[in-house]
Amino acid sequence: MIECQPLSGYIKRLIVSIMRNKVEGGFMYIHRRNVAKVFIDEEAITQLLLDCIIKKENVLKYLHHSYYPVKIENGLRFTDKNGRPKSCLQHIKRTETGFKIYIINSEPHKIGTDLIYSMQRYKEFYPEDIIPENVEILLMIEQIKIAYQETIVYCECIKGWNMPLPSEVRLLAKKTLDKFDTLEKVAAIKMRSIKRKFLKYYVKMKYIKWEDLRRIIAIDDYSPIHIKEFIAKIKEENDCNGKWR
């Protein structure tokens, strides 16, 4: 029998479990189906996301504009604006014991906001349904992954959560960070999704602020002289002399 557990604890253990695996094509995976019974401890989820340098409100806003609910029997399924299925959040269904939520090809930090969002939309479509506090959710996930660049932040998070981490993952994180060991190198990355992963580490380590992350992401002049001057200004604003490797 599967025991119901807080969602935040499940996600933390999932992160550690995935990071024990080898990198395949830029990601670490759990390919098998993962099934758990959880309840949403939203305050702890909010803190978990902040630990990972993610703002819950921003993610929920994105989900609201990207995952469109369609009413089905006893639940909702989620599509894009054209009615086509998307990856990650698939559907939520009411059951005798609580809810069942189905997710495909997701990442650990997305699971918390996917569940919060799906419950919010369910309540909108079924306002007459009285849902008890800490209702049980049967969570079914087909394939979970972590991009190898995320290890640099997750390693710091896991240290803060006082959880064990294999030495191989620490080595991978160190090698990953060594490739982009200056903020100038990170700022020069043109793919914004990759750049953001590295910048989250600099925010996590308090080298830069959230606002600086957004400013560096928005760079559109990639000439070496512009990047050098731009980053010099950010370092000066953050009084970072002596902190940078």
Joined together, the tokens standing for residue 209 give 């602020």
What pLDDT, on the 0 to 100 scale, is given for residue 243? Answer: 58
What pLDDT, on the 0 to 100 scale, is given for residue 245? Answer: 43
Q: Residue 38, SS3?
A: strand
What pLDDT, on the 0 to 100 scale, is given for residue 134? Answer: 93
Residues 81 and 235: their CA atoms lie apart, in Å, by 42
What pLDDT, on the 0 to 100 scale, is given for residue 40? Answer: 97
Q: Which amino acid is at 222?
A: Y
Q: Are the C-beta atoms of residues 208 and 183 closer than 8 Å to each other?
A: yes
What pLDDT, on the 0 to 100 scale, is given for residue 166? Answer: 79
Got the DSSP string for 68-108? EEEEETTEEEEE-TTS-B-SEEEEEEE-SSEEEEEEEEE-H
Residues lower than pLDDT 70 in the chain: 1, 240-245
Residues 62 and 72: their CA atoms lie apart, in Å, by 23
Question: From its phi and psi, is residue 242 left (phi > 0), alpha (psi between -120 and 50) or beta?
Answer: left
Q: Write down how long the chain is.
A: 245
Give the CA diameter of the chain: 63
What pLDDT, on the 0 to 100 scale, is given for residue 97? Answer: 93
Whole-prediction pTM value?
0.93
Q: Which residues pair with 92 in a beta bridge?
A: 76, 101
